[in-house]
Amino acid sequence: MIKTTVVPIVCSILILPALVTADSLAPEHTGMTRAVAVMHPTAGHEVRGIVTFTKTADGVRVQASIKGLTPGKHGFHIHQYGDCSAADGTSAGGHFNPHGADHGGPSADSRHAGDLGNLDANESGDANYDRVDHHLSLVGHDSIIGRAVIIHAHADDLTSQPTGGAGPRVACGVIGSAKE
C-alpha cells in the first residue's frame, strides 16, 4: 500500500518542468495577434456588426461585416479613445493619429493611422470590408487596442481635413483582444 502512493509524487516532480516550458510559449507572451470590435448603433441608428483585426506576415488584415446602413459609402475609421458612452459617439474623440499626419485615404503613404476609408453598403444596407493594412499595429506605442472603431453617416472623401467630411457617427465599438 505504501509503494502505490510514492509513484504519483515522483511523476508530478518530472512533469512540472515541462508545464513551465509550455506556459512560456503561450500566445500572451508573444504579443497580441487578433483583436475585435463589436459595433453598436449610436442614438437613432440601427447599425451593428463585427470588425476583426488579424496580424499577418504582410500587415494587419481588417475584416468587417456590418448591417443596418443606408446604401452607399460610409466613413470607416479608428478613433482615439475606446469610449462609446456618448449618445452620438463623439466620446471616441478624433481619428487615431499617433504621428501627427494629415487625414487621407487608406492606401495613402501619409495618413492618420485610423484612416480605413469607407464601407460600401449594398441596397439592403449590408457592408463587408476585407483588406490588409500597412499602418495598423496590435502592439506597442501605436497599438489600436483599447481605441474605437467608428462608422459614419456619410462617405469619407479621403481629402477634407481633418475628418474627410464623413458626418455624424452611426456606430461605435471598442477594440479589444480576441480569441486567437
Among residues 73, 74, 77, 111, which is the contact residue for Cu ion, using CB under 5 A?
A: 77
150 binds, among Cu ion, Zn ion, none (CB under 5 to 8 A by kind): Cu ion
112 is an active site residue = yes
CA-based max dimension of the chain: 82
115 is an active site residue = yes
156 near 77, Cβ under 8 Å? yes
Tell me the residue ranges of DSSP E strands in 72-168. Answer: 72-79, 115-121, 127-133, 148-152
103 binds, among Zn ion, Cu ion, none (CB under 5 to 8 A by kind): Zn ion
Span of 43-51, 85-93, 97-105, 126-134 interacting with Zn ion by CB under 5 A: 97-105
73 binds, among Zn ion, Cu ion, none (CB under 5 to 8 A by kind): none
Q: Please, what is the minimum distance in Å from the beta carbon of residue 152 to Zn ion?
A: 11
Q: Give yes or no for residue 115 binding Zn ion (CB under 5 A).
A: yes
> Which residue, chain included where needed, has cell 483582444?
177
Q: Which long-range contacts (CB under 8 A, 24 or more apart) does 39-43 make?
A: 39/66, 39/149, 39/151, 39/171, 39/172, 39/173, 40/84, 40/171, 40/172, 40/173, 41/68, 41/170, 41/171, 42/87, 42/88, 42/89, 42/168, 42/169, 42/170, 42/171, 42/172, 43/87, 43/88
Residue at shortest CB range from Cu ion: 77
CB closer to Zn ion out of 115 and 133: 115
How many binding residues for Zn ion (CB under 5 A)? Answer: 4
Q: Give yes or no for residue 152 binding Zn ion (CB under 5 A).
A: no
In the complex, the residues that contact Cu ion under the rule CB under 5 A are 77, 150
Q: Which residues bind Zn ion (CB under 5 A)?
A: 95, 103, 112, 115
* Residues annotated catalytic, as ranges: 77, 79, 95, 103, 112, 115, 152, 169
